[in-house]
């Protein structure tokens, strides 16, 4: 059995529109301690992350405390929306959830995000079966992973977690078969 804890990053500075370098807010830095506390009880073997700073920094406190190197995997990055910032994100997100292939000219569809995240996850499952694994992630990317294993997860569910940062989702696997998904709200004492 392999257990994977996807950790959606803590609150980040939305005034920084650069996806790669967007840092955590002071609240986000405080809240990542809740992630550390939760993970310390889980006998973690490996730590992976999206290369984006907010995802890395959310799991870094735990990784540093336990002496783990964070292995950055580009395919776990968040969805590219477009060349620029989108002000009406909710309408855009709804359109993408209604049509998994919809994308802006320089962006990615949810289908593309899901494919690369699942491919990266399957590679980890093949190489590191029967381990407890942490993956630093993002709201949309993580939502597409949930949707892959539970097709009932859609836009309404995405809307519910939109402001839930940090957020942990525990996946249990036998080989590559997902046998369980559990949402963990660490902000409210899980």
What percent of the chain lies above the pLDDT cut of 70?
98
pLDDT computed for residue 20 by the predictor = 85
| Three-point CA angle 150, 167, 148, nearest 5° | 20
Mean pLDDT score across all residues of the chain: 94
What percent of the chain lies above the pLDDT cut of 90?
81
Helices (H), 9-109: 26-40, 53-66, 89-98
Is this prediction's pTM over 0.85? Answer: yes
Q: How far apart are CA 167 and CA 54, in angstroms?
A: 13
pLDDT of 75 over the 70 cut: yes
Binding positions for substrate: 8-15, 54
42-51, 86-95, 100-109, 147-156: which range is least confident on average?
86-95
Q: Could you tell me the residue ranges of all domains in the chain?
A: 2-127+140-172
Which CATH code for domain 2-127+140-172? 3.40.50.1240
| CB crowding 67-76: b at 16 or more within 10 Å, else e | ebebeebebb
pLDDT of 19 over the 90 cut: no
pLDDT of 90 over the 90 cut: no
> Mean pLDDT over residues 138-148, rounded?
97
> Mean pLDDT over residues 135-146, rounded?
97
11-15, 28-32, 129-133, 171-175: which range is least confident on average?
11-15
Binding positions: 8-15, 54
150-154, 176-180, 185-189: which range is least confident on average?
185-189
């Amino acid at each position: 059995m392999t257990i994977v804890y996807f950790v959606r990053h803590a609150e980040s500075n939305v005034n920084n529109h650069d996806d790669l370098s967007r840092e955590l807010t002071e609240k986000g830095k405080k809240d990542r301690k809740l992630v550390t506390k939760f993970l310390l009880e889980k006998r973690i073997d490996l730590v992976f992350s999206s290369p984006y700073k907010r995802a890395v920094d959310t799991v870094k406190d735990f990784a540093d405390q336990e002496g783990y190197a964070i292995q950055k995997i580009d395919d776990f990055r968040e969805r590219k929306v477009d060349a620029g910032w989108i002000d009406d994100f909710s309408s855009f997100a709804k359109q993408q959830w209604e049509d998994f292939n919809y994308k802006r000219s320089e962006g990615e569809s949810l289908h593309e995000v899901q494919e690369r995240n699942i491919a990266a996850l399957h590679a980890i499952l093949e190489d590191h079966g029967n381990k407890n694994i942490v993956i630093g992630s993002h709201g949309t990317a993580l939502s597409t992973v949930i949707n892959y294993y539970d097709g009932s997860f859609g836009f309404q569910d995405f809307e519910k977690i939109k402001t839930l940062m940090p957020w942990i989702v525990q996946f249990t696997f036998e080989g590559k078969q997902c046998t369980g998904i559990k949402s963990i709200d660490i902000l409210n004492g899980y």
